[in-house]
Structure 1
Amino acid sequence: MRVRDALGPLFTDEDFTTGEFEEMYADLGRPGISPALLAMVTVLQFLHNLSDRDAAVAVADRISWKYALGLELEYTGFDASVLCEFRARLVEGDRADALLTVMLERLKSAGLVRSGGRQRTDSTHVLACVRTLNRIECLGEALRMALEEIARTSPGFIVPLLKEGWDERYGRKVETSRLLRRKNSSATRLAEQIGADGRSLIAAIDTDPDAAWMNGLPQVKILRELWGQHFEATATGRLRYRDTKELPPSAQRVRSPHDPDARYSTKGRPGADSVEWTGSKSHLTESCDEDLPSLVTDVHTTPATEPDVTAVTPVQDRLTARDLKPGEHLTDSGYPSGPNIGASLERGITPIAPVTVQTGRGAHDGTFTPKDFHVDWHSGVTRCPAGATSISMRPKKNGLIRVAFSRADCRPCPIRAQCTTAAPHLGRSLEIHPEPIHTARMRMQAEQDTPRWREAYRARAGIEATISQAVRGPGLRRSRYRGLAKTHLQNVLTGMAINIRRLGTHFDTTTKPDRRPTRIHTLCTQHDIPTAA
């Protein structure tokens, strides 16, 4: 209600007639419910973490919602299924990001967000809306889903394929049938049996010209992909169940046929602090200027296996397109890299993040690393800590520059043991980034030891509170939907809900009572007890 009083409506129906929303609704037929109304209801739904039915009831019952939505008190609401249909339209294309852009345009015109300020980014894991399955359960469930979908439309195609044991293996969800708990059961034998059953279905589809349309079914596509990942045809024509070491990398493996976009990943060092999950990853970016409220300016969703370093360029591209390019971008040590540091500087954005220049073996055994070498880019010569100069500086195919030193200088060097662990007859060599990136990395690493940098970087910690708020309120870490596109929509709506919550706090002018002090604090104050010895 306070946001409505201060800013008016955040969305209008005209916003949904141009840009990414131009083809969201058809021109023919009966007019639908106002998209601006549904957009605001959806944001409020995520603000209070409500289901579709509860949100529809809130529109009809809560006076505060009607005030915020600009509705009459007599408004009776709409059916809950309308919200699901509206989200299905938002999932298509880039409409989720466009909806956040519309909100940010309103906030930018009100002076609540601005370009050239300070922004911070961090990520968190998001669990997929699926059960965790082992390899055999995943294969069996994929085959069951394909059989179920084909049997729904063409049962006559399935009947000739039915064999003894199919009802036991595929008559119900595989994870509930407990096939491996049967007497004399074998995991390898069961996997090979499921593989043979799946191959017979794929062969039947390939040999029947009238069944070609089945290849377009999502369940059949997933079936073929999983069989290619987990089985291998032998010379005798049989299927061999691949060993775990032979499987594709985790970024390519399908973990559940119910959500083919979900990926398995781990975060942190093995032990109590590590996190293992199957799903995706969400990156939240918010403004953090001292004179303005901290508001979410971008939401980026990636597969769980993608490292944080890949998110910097897409986030900055969208911020620039929204005319919200930050002057300073604060991140943790997982985001900066040589290429995106250079790209940020070219955009006029100053990255503020811990940079590790000591890489390779030297970072762990105490030997000299690239930061200990002085590079003279003008003359193309690098000087080592002992004073010797390089004999060559040549670019490599991967974009780095290889610096080599002479064996005649390295063999008798008194500090060779601190410089390289190579064979005695070899000289030292190292790889560095090109001049702009190398210079920026060295400068950023030198600044990390200054009090000024530590004071500026202290502002990054606030993004962790934002993630905590998104987890405790809208439930960011548990996806409501399946598929990366729908999960991204949920993450965007969560960021918009946080903005509404913070704007309401920003516009709250009521005086809050002071927190009651503890009795010990009161006694120490009354008797003039110093706070420190």
Structure 2
Amino acid sequence: MALRPGSGAAHHESVPALDLVAGEDGLVEVFGDAAYSSGPCRHALTSAGHRVVIKPAPLRPAVPGGFSLDDFAIDTIGSTVTCPAGHQVPLSAPSGRNLQRKAFFTGQCVGCPLRSRCTTAKAGRILTIRPHHDELAAAREQAATDPLWQQDYRRWRPPVERAIAWLVARGNRRLRYIGTIKNNAWLHIRAAALNLRTLINLGLTRTSGTWTLVSKPI
């Protein structure tokens, strides 16, 4: 568990997630919602050999109900992009601070019968391809088609959501102090108290100087 400032790329959810996993011994299964679905986070986790069960961030079509990025055939190795109408254009080399790549369909959009489902831009459709595109596309495909992935995600999401609800209950969604250090200490103390309450509900008891856990329904 970690508490970070609430703004800035250096404090995005996926950053402390990598720090927490780095403290584990051996390979683990990593579960998370779409907030942890950044390309760098996925790449780091899969490269380390962990099993990633993180919900992919949804795509937003340029036109509501129209074509999304996954409706285009994007070949990052061959540096080409083919649109749903069959027009193919080159994919630019990575550039800029974020190493993004561009595919310009400006000329091909003129008179295209599918244009109304693709873009409202006067100049035509321009795709922006970010680093780790292939990994993110594969993650979206897996989440949509892999029954095991779907089963595991559905199984573990409710307990996590329930734990978060316990953590922020009774006005604890708001931080109590000014500054990260004090609030981080408060967060750990509250989490420890909630864990102790859960263990007591599960049957934790002290008998003859020994703590034992007798399993019982919550």
TM-score by length of 2: 0.77
The corresponding residue for 1:420 is 119
In the other structure, the counterpart of 2:18 is: 316
Q: Is the 8 A contact 1:420 1:428 kept in 2?
A: yes
- Counterparts of 2:192 and 2:74, CA distance in 1: 47
1:466-516 deviation digits (Å, cap 9, x = unpaired)? 22333459x744555443211101111222333444455364227x5x99x
* Higher helix content, 1 or 2: 1
Indicate the residue corresponding to 2:213 in structure 1.
508
Counterparts of 1:456 and 1:308 in 2: how far apart (Å)? Answer: 30
Aligned residues of 1:329 and 1:351 also touching (Cα < 8 A)? yes
Find the partner of 1:402 among 102, 105, 114: 102
| Structure with bigger RCO (C-alpha 8 Å, 6+ apart) | 1
Q: Does 1:383 align with 2:85?
A: no
**Do the aligned residues in 2 keep the contact of 1:476 with 1:494 (CA within 8 Å)?**
no
SS of 1:352's partner is strand
Cα distance per residue 1:275-327 (max 9 Å; x no partner) = xxxxxxxxxxxxxxxxxxxxxxxx2112344689812222322331x334662
Residue-by-residue CA offset, 1:172-219 (whole Å, 9 max, x unaligned): xxxxxxxxxxxxxxxxxxxxxxxxxxxxxxxxxxxxxxxxxxxxxxxx
Change in 2 beyond 3 A, CA 1:420/1:467: closer
Deviation digits for residues 242-267 of structure 1 (CA, Å, limit 9, x no counterpart): xxxxxxxxxxxxxxxxxxxxxxxxxx
Deviations 1:3-26 (A, max 9, x none): xxxxxxxxxxxxxxxxxxxxxxxx
Give the Cα–Cα distance (whole angstroms) in 2 for the partners of residues 487 and 406 of structure 1: 51
SS at match of 1:341: helix
Evaluate the alpha carbon distance shift between residue 367 and residue 479 of structure 1 in structure 2; reply closer, same or farther with a 3 A threshold.
closer
Cα distance in structure 2, aligned partners of 1:405 and 1:462: 45
Aligned pair in 2 of structure 1 residues 460, 325: CA closer, same or farther (>3 Å)?
A: farther
3-state SS, counterpart of residue 316 of structure 1: helix
What is the alpha-carbon distance in structure 2 between the residues aligned to residue 405 and residue 472 of structure 1? 50
- Residue 196 of structure 2 corresponds to residue 491 of structure 1: no
**Structure label with greater radius of gyration:** 1
Deviations 1:97-138 (A, max 9, x none): xxxxxxxxxxxxxxxxxxxxxxxxxxxxxxxxxxxxxxxxxx
Amino acid at match of 1:509: V
Q: Which residue of 1 aligns with 2:207?
A: none
Cα distance between partner residues in 1 of 2:198 and 2:27: 20
Please name the residue that 1:348 is paired with.
49
Comparing 392-401 and 475-484, the one that deviates more: 475-484
1:457 Cα offset (Å): 0.8
1:337 match? 38
Q: Rate the CA distance shift 1:430–1:366 in 2: closer, same or farther, 3 A.
A: same
Cα offsets for 1:145-186 (capped at 9, x unmatched) = xxxxxxxxxxxxxxxxxxxxxxxxxxxxxxxxxxxxxxxxxx
Structure 1 residue 390: Cα displacement: 0.6
Contact 1:394 1:401 in 2 (8 A): yes
Counterpart-to-counterpart distance in 1, 2:165 and 2:83? 47
**Runs of at least 5 residues in structure 2 that lack an aligned partner in the other structure:** 205-211
Deviation (angstroms), 1:358: 2.0
Residue type at the aligned position of 2:85:
A
What is the alpha-carbon distance in structure 1 between the residues aligned to residue 73 and residue 2 of structure 2? 39
Q: How does 1:22-41 map to 2 (within 5 A)?
A: none
The code of the aligned residue for 1:389 comes to Q
Equivalent-residue separation in structure 1 for 2:48 and 2:38 (angstroms): 15
Residue of structure 2 in register with 1:46 after alignment:
none
Paired position in structure 2 for 1:448: 143
CA deviations over 1:333-387 (Å, ceiling 9, x no partner): 233222322232223333323323523533xx22322111112233221111111
Q: Classify 1:303/1:323 alpha carbon distance in 2 versus 1 (closer, same or farther; 3 Å).
A: closer
Residues in 1 aligned to 2:186 and 2:27: alpha-carbon distance in whole angstroms? 25
What is the root-mean-square deviation of aligned Cα atoms in Å?
3.1
What TM-score does the superposition give when structure 1 sets the normalisation length? 0.35
Deviation readout 1:57-96 (Å, 9 max, x if unpaired): xxxxxxxxxxxxxxxxxxxxxxxxxxxxxxxxxxxxxxxx
- Residue 460 and residue 357 in structure 1: after superposition, are their counterparts in 2 closer, same or farther (change >3 A)? closer
Does the residue aligned with 1:334 lie in a helix, a strand or coil?
A: helix
Change (3 A) 1:307 1:499: farther
Verify the 8 A CA contact 1:300 1:311 in the aligned structure 2: no
| Aligned amino acid, residue 137 of structure 2 | M
**5 Å matches for 1:10-21?**
none
Unaligned residue ranges in structure 1 (runs of 5+): 1-298, 516-533
